[in-house]
Amino acid sequence: MVKQALALAFAGFFASSSMAAVTIQTVAFGGVASPAGAVVIDFEGADLSSVVPSGFTATSTGNVGLYTGSQAGVAAAPMGDATQYLGIRNGSYTLQSATGYSNLSFYWGSIDAGNQVDLLDANGKSFFTLTGNSALTSSDAKGNWFSGADNRTVLINSDEKIYGVSFYYPSTAFELDDLVFDAISAAPEPATWALMAGGFGLIGFAMRSTRKTTGTSFA
């Protein structure tokens, strides 16, 4: 388990659209440090309304809920995640803020090819789209619950401010956890991500493992 947590795989890519330059990096097995002042959404709450941070509004379509563990035909817990997470079926979940952020990260579980993430501007319009079948994310995007290739922390830096994010999937399911908005403008170098992810990913993975329960069913 420790060897798995230390065996971090990195994929750093630079992508651009007509509106923004966006840097995408992914890290296997766990998360990264949350800088001071960052907005952290861990989806630990009694219901969807309770997990929305101050200064944000949330809207959803289809079937969106909070889950712990895996439920057949509903949602599969991200690999190693024994905490509560967000699951989206046949719909979308959108967070919008009046504040613009430069960085966004989240733990993307069992990545499916059709999973879609849109970065939003101040008017709620998408200026960058990332899909599960992009080479920027998973190496196969087959929704494998137990593959490091399909369960990754995604690190996004944008030169255009991120005022919101929308997660969408027209089937079953899009699962994510530990969503972080950060205002720091500069994207850390890959070596810096490695140091941050190595320390905090190991700690986070170990904590999740100790809290993991038995008797799991899968979507």
Exposed / middle / buried, residue 87 (Cβ in 10 Å: 0-12, 13-18, 19+): buried
Distance CA 15, CA 158 (A): 10
On whether residue 212 sits in a domain, the answer given is no
> Taking Cα atoms as reference points, which of 181, 167, 165, 145 lies closest to residue 88?
167
Instruction: Look at 161 and 35; give whichever has higher pLDDT.
Output: 161
Q: What is the DSSP letter of 45?
A: S
- What is the separation of C-alpha 161 from the centre of its chain, rounded to a whole number of angstroms? 18
Tally of domains in the chain: 1
- Give whichever of 91-95, 184-188, 200-204 has the largest mean pLDDT: 91-95
pLDDT at residue 208 in the model: 45
Residue 213: pLDDT band by 50, 70, 90 thresholds? very low
Residue with the larger pLDDT of the pair 146 and 176: 176
Taking 60 as the threshold, does the pLDDT of residue 76 lie above it? Answer: yes
What's the rounded mean pLDDT across residues 161-170?
A: 97
Is the pLDDT higher at 210 or at 33?
33
Question: Which residue has better confidence, 214 or 57?
Answer: 57
pLDDT 10s digits, 114-160: 999 999 999 999 999 999 988 677 777 888 877 888 899 999 999 99
Residue 193: closest CA among 31, 41, 7: 31
Residue 168 has pLDDT above 80, yes or no: yes
215 occurs within a structural domain: no
Using pLDDT thresholds of 50, 70 and 90, give the confidence band for residue 185.
low
CATH code, 187: 2.60.120.430
Residue 38's nearest CA partner among 143, 140, 155, 149 is 155
**Share above pLDDT 70 across residues of the chain, in percent, rounded to a whole number:** 73
Is residue 30 in a domain?
Answer: yes
Range of the domain at 75: 2-201
Whether residue 77 is contained in a domain is answered as: yes
User: Is 214 contained in some domain?
Assistant: no
Name which residue leads in pLDDT, 69 or 73: 69
User: Could you give the CA distance from residue 95 to residue 165 in angstroms, rounded to a whole number?
Assistant: 5
Backbone angles phi, psi at 124, to 5 degrees: 80, 15
Q: Does residue 183 surpass a pLDDT of 60?
A: yes
Q: What integer pLDDT is reported at residue 30 of this predicted model?
A: 61
Compute the distance between CA of residue 8 and CA of residue 103 in angstroms, rounded to an integer. Answer: 21
Residue 209 in any domain: the answer is no
Mean pLDDT value of segment 56-68: 98
Instruction: Kindly state whether residue 75 falls inside one of the protein's structural domains.
Output: yes
Position 199 pLDDT exceeds 90: no
pLDDT digits (tens, 9 = 90+) for 8-43: 333 343 443 445 799 999 887 665 677 888 999 999
152 part of a folded domain: yes
Is residue 36 within 8 A of residue 179, CB to CB? The reply is no
Residue 48 has pLDDT above 70, yes or no: yes
